[in-house]
């Protein structure tokens, strides 16, 4: 994060006037740019074009002889589980391959926990007087929306540069037996790019919880999505949970949505043997088997863990210039002004931009006036409510570089406009 202070009042007024002028010019350009969602660009999808011709006519037999065209194989192809075992830090025998969406697997896991007693649970969650989840903020809006849909209470927990504030987490799970889960995006977190420290992971694995059926929803969506030269490695939560006598504590999720094709990838669930048996037992009532042709296609395409890593380097070559451009423009336009601070992530899909308190909504509104669509302010918080109205999520991957640069330059104008107005109000005591 970068910040410093803007000088005296005259300078503030001059800055505001300049921003007013720049914003009017921006609106007059009639732009139409979209920074709302973390989607791969068409060029990134092109990297996986070969998938569309795989596995190819006549190739439908998995390594163990399974005919992938047929029913069955609820746990997913062993060779695909092998490829993702290392990156997701789950033994292949404890990984399950699902459909095309990890969010769907998370949704389904919550619904199953509501309706079918989890290992270690006294009762189904639906029979509890109240179910609450801890939500590190800023976080991923779809995690929150999923819980809201089922009346699960959302309790915000502040993020730190090492992950959620563990003093707060430990207190809440110790004191409240109705706290049944926590949402975690442990690597290159959405939206602030934070990677959980080893100590945070250890504390999550070891902490005493009042609920016997407390679960960590470990959404490792960006496990292999490195932007920096040296990949970040996080501690192995599944192993740490087992070592600390809490073998069933964690549900690991992941997918290839931002590896191969966002709409036609494969998703993963990993956990203890007991949880895996629970999940597969439930799945057996839902389906006679997953799409193993898509799984085989992914095996043929990625080949092995090294093939996966090489493919991710090709993604990095496409998206790193975009992240670099956002940081460069924010530095140039807002660096040293004290009007904003931002994350400079080593991986993942987002940059988190913090503006002065009470400004985020207005910045997003001013950007919309200029034809720049941003994720709604507040989306990074439970119930869409950022109490400090401060955090804006920037998603640089989808637009092309030129559009992205225009959008970020425009966004910087909106930040200058709104933040200088707010600082002038504050200076005059209103």
Beta strands in 129-249 (DSSP E): 132-137, 153-160, 163-164, 179-184, 215-219
Decide: is 255 part of the binding site for ligand PMP (CB under 6 A): yes
Per-residue contact string for residues 263-282; x = within reach of ligand PMP by CB under 6 A: ----x---------------
Under a CB-based contact definition with an 8 Å cutoff, are residues 138 and 191 in contact?
yes
**Cα gap 330→324, rounded to integer Å:** 10
Strand order of the β-sheet with 153-160 is 95-97, 267-270, 250-255, 215-219, 179-184, 132-137, 153-160, 163-164
- Residue selected from 125, 140, 301, 323 as contacting ligand PMP according to rule CB under 6 A: 140
Q: 171-185 as b/e, with b when 16 or more CB fall inside 10 Å?
A: ebbeebbebbbbbbb
Decide: is 109 part of the binding site for ligand PMP (CB under 6 A): no
Decide: is 257 part of the binding site for ligand PMP (CB under 6 A): yes
What is the smallest separation between the CB atom of 261 and ligand PMP, expressed in angstroms? 10
- Residue selected from 103, 114, 241, 319 as contacting ligand PMP according to rule CB under 6 A: 103
Decide: is 88 part of the binding site for ligand PMP (CB under 6 A): no
Decide: is 417 part of the binding site for ligand PMP (CB under 6 A): no
Under a CB-based contact definition with an 8 Å cutoff, are residues 380 and 393 in contact?
yes
Decide: is 259 part of the binding site for ligand PMP (CB under 6 A): no
- Residue selected from 219, 248, 333, 386 as contacting ligand PMP according to rule CB under 6 A: 219
What is the smallest separation between the CB atom of 259 and ligand PMP, expressed in angstroms? 10
Q: Which is nearer to ligand PMP, 134 or 185 (CB)?
A: 185
Under a CB-based contact definition with an 8 Å cutoff, are residues 132 and 154 in contact?
yes
Q: Which is nearer to ligand PMP, 140 or 144 (CB)?
A: 140
Decide: is 164 part of the binding site for ligand PMP (CB under 6 A): no
Decide: is 237 part of the binding site for ligand PMP (CB under 6 A): no
**Cα gap 292→61, rounded to integer Å:** 10
Decide: is 190 part of the binding site for ligand PMP (CB under 6 A): yes
What is the smallest separation between the CB atom of 189 and ligand PMP, expressed in angstroms? 8
Under a CB-based contact definition with an 8 Å cutoff, are residues 408 and 330 in contact?
yes
Under a CB-based contact definition with an 8 Å cutoff, are residues 95 and 84 in contact?
yes
Residue numbers at the binding site for ligand PMP (CB under 6 A): 38, 101-103, 140, 185, 190, 219, 221, 255, 257, 267
């Amino acid at each position: 994060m970068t910040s410093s202070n803007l000088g005296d009042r005259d300078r503030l007024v001059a800055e505001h006037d300049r921003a007013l002028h720049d914003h009017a010019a921006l609106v007059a350009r009639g732009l139409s740019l979209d920074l709302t969602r973390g989607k791969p660009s068409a060029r990134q999808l092109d990297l996986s074009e070969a998938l569309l011709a795989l596995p190819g006519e006549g190739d439908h037999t998995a390594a163990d002889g399974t005919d992938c065209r047929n029913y069955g194989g609820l746990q997913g192809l062993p060779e695909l589980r092998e490829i993702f075992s290392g990156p997701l830090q789950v033994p292949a025998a404890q990984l399950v391959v699902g459909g095309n969406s990890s969010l769907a697997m998370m949704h389904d896991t919550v619904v199953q926990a509501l309706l079918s007693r989890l290992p270690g649970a006294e009762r189904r969650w639906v029979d509890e007087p109240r179910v609450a989840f801890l939500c590190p903020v800023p976080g991923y809006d779809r995690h929150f929306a999923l819980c809201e849909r089922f009346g699960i209470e959302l309790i915000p927990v502040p993020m730190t540069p090492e992950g959620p504030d563990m003093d707060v987490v430990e207190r809440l799970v110790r004191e409240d037996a109705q706290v049944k889960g926590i949402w975690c995006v442990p690597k290159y977190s959405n939206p602030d790019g934070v990677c959980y420290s080893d100590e945070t992971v250890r504390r999550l694995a070891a902490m005493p919880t009042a609920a016997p059926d407390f679960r960590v929803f470990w959404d490792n969506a960006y496990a292999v999505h490195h932007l920096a030269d040296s990949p970040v490695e996080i501690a192995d939560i599944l192993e740490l949970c087992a070592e600390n006598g809490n073998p069933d504590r964690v549900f690991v999720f992941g997918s290839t949505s931002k590896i191969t094709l966002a709409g036609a990838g494969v998703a993963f669930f990993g956990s203890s043997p007991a949880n895996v048996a629970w999940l597969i037992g439930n799945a057996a009532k839902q389906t006679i088997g997953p799409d193993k042709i898509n799984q085989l296609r992914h095996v043929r395409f990625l080949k092995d863990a090294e093939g996966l890593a090489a493919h991710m380097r090709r993604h990095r070559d496409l998206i790193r210039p975009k992240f670099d451009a956002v940081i460069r423009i924010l530095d140039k336009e807002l660096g040293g002004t004290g009007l904003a601070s931002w994350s400079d992530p080593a991986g993942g899909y987002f940059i988190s931009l913090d503006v002065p308190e009470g400004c985020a909504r207005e910045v997003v509104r001013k950007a919309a006036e200029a034809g720049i669509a941003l994720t709604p302010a507040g989306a990074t918080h439970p119930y869409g409510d950022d109490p400090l109205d401060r955090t804006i999520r920037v998603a640089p991957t989808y637009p092309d570089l030129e559009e992205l640069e225009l959008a970020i330059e425009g966004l910087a104008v909106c930040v200058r406009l709104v933040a200088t107005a707010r600082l002038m109000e504050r200076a005059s005591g209103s």
